[in-house]
Amino acid sequence: MALVGDVILSAREIFTDLPPTLPALATAPALAAVSGPGNLAPGTYFVMVTQLTPWGETLPSPEASITLAVASNISVQPPALSGLVSAVRIYFAAAAGAESFYQQFSTAGGVGIFTINATTGVGAMSSGNQSPPTRSTAYMPDADGQALGAFAIYRWLNQALGWAAAKNRGGLPDFGAAGTLSGQPNYILPGYWKKIDSAWYDGYPLGLLQKNNVFRRNPVPGYSGMLTVFQATDRLMVEAWPQPARTSAQTTLAAPMLATDTTATLTSTAGFVLGFGMAQIGAEAVNFAGIAGNQLTGLQRGMTGTVASAQVAGAPVTELNLMISGYRVPSTASYFPGQAATPLYLPPGWDEALVSYILYRFRKAEQDEAGAKAALGEATEKMTSLGSNRIIAGPRQVQPYGAVGPEVAAGMGSRFGGIIIP
């Protein structure tokens, strides 16, 4: 899955207007001898540390050294790392300035102390060598370039999303959901939807009917059986009838969450009707695969156009028991500087079309009309091709007998019968 920064950096490489790179760590790491498996032999070792981002590697830190009196591991504690850093590489050798082996460690979860030895890690001493880089490639997509500011390219990215949605008229296949309130019929679903093809209340399928199918003489609370849709400018409003007879479960987070966590610990799961479904944690919609005690497990983060983000203890959690599926238009105001490391929740191939559209905007700003026309044509061609490649689940409608009217194609379809062909 592409990151927001991948699209921005790909476009800036074409311009060319590359942003600055992340600087090297300013001070040497702190070293200490520790016990562990695969010990390094006694002797003096020299160590440098680089930072890795999703887009490259920084220059190395100043060199540090340590003398091991006995065979040991080496604990390495770099100074504070940048928030963009996803991993560190620790280069080391037995001679000053000759670091040629490295071991790589993830910084996920805020890990800040790493241990090197003779056998573990990428490029351990027994498996090859590589010297530290001589130039930084850890570009910072959220920073200004020489010609283009970060806010401008983010604005073009958001405009590209709106353009892509207009070109790919079907929209993005997605799920949306809302929590119900007892007796309340109308709900605003997040996002802008072009088509709704299925809906559920408390897990039961709803009929998608017309507005005049709703009885409006007086409230009829109960188990909702149908859904109607109202389009109100930029909002999608749905009406459930009969009006839902219960309020969805409301609780809070009992423990903080990282943006990458797949389990949420709640104060209570009382009131959650479904064993799997959707919930809202803070401003983020998630899909959960199960409930175990007070935990929602198997989370899929950042659903329905929201962004996976860290959540604090006490954040509100709402069961989303009124669900729809269909085709959603991607938000045109979702991304802003500082979100380069955020996943871009789009189907494969959309990122390339977005890059071409951003290039079109850049050429327009340069008043290069020919270049702008070519870039827009390339973007349109890419999006048109993507719009025609849809995922389709069978069985498909067929006409085996060439007649007109309802027919049943015997032997086709599911184990429960054939396909009725109108």
For residues 162-191, average pLDDT: 82
Lowest mean pLDDT of 13-22, 181-190, 391-400, name the range.
391-400
Nearest Cα residue to 62 out of 80, 45, 50: 50
Residue carrying the six token digits 């071991």: 103
Highest mean pLDDT among 35-49, 230-244, 324-338: 35-49
As a whole number of angstroms, the distance between CA 2 and CA 365 comes to: 26
For the residues 256-277, what does the mean pLDDT come to? 93
Residue recorded with tokens 């209340």 = 201
Residue 169's pLDDT is 59
274 bridge partner residues: none
Does the pLDDT at position 299 exceed 90? yes
Between 187 and 123, residue with greater pLDDT? 187
57-83: pLDDT as tens digits: 999 999 999 999 999 999 999 998 888
pLDDT reading at 418 higher than 60:
no
Q: Please give the average per-residue pLDDT across 224-246, as a whole number.
A: 83
pTM: 0.70
**8 Å CB contact between 168 and 387:** yes
Least confident of 34-43, 159-168, 267-276: 159-168
* 329 vs 420, higher pLDDT: 329
Query: Which stretches within 168-316 are classed as H helix?
Result: none
Q: How many CB atoms lie within 10 A of CB 395?
A: 11
Per-residue DSSP letters for 139-171? B-TTS--SS--HHHHHHHHHHHHHHHHHHSTT-
CB 299 within 8 A of CB 284: no
28-53 burial, b if ≥16 CB within 10 A, otherwise e?
Answer: bbebebeeeebbbeeeebbbbbbbbb
Instruction: Provide the pLDDT for residue 234.
Output: 64
**Whether the predicted pLDDT of 396 surpasses 60:** no
Contact call for residues 90 and 100 (beta carbons, < 8 A): no
By the 10 Å C-beta count (0-12 exposed, 13-18 middle, 19+ buried), 116 is classed as buried
Q: How confident is the model at residue 392 (pLDDT cuts 50, 70, 90)?
A: low
pLDDT at 309 over 50: yes
pLDDT at 219 (0 to 100): 82
Please return the burial class of 96, using the count of CB atoms within 10 Å of its CB with bins 0-12, 13-18 and 19+.
Answer: exposed
d(CA 108, CA 86): 7
| Spatial distance between the Cα atoms of 240 and 228, rounded to a whole number of angstroms | 7
Please tell me whether the peptide bond between 16 and the residue prior to it is cis, using omega within 30 degrees of 0. Answer: yes
The angle at the Cα of 283, spanning 191 to 267, to the nearest 5 degrees, equals 135
* Cα–Cα distance for residue pair 238/230, rounded to 1 Å: 6
Q: What value does the mean pLDDT of the chain take?
A: 85
**Mean per-residue pLDDT, 24-48:** 93
97 neighbors 65 (Cβ within 8 angstroms): no
Res. 24: pLDDT tops 90: yes
Q: What is the pLDDT of residue 404?
A: 46
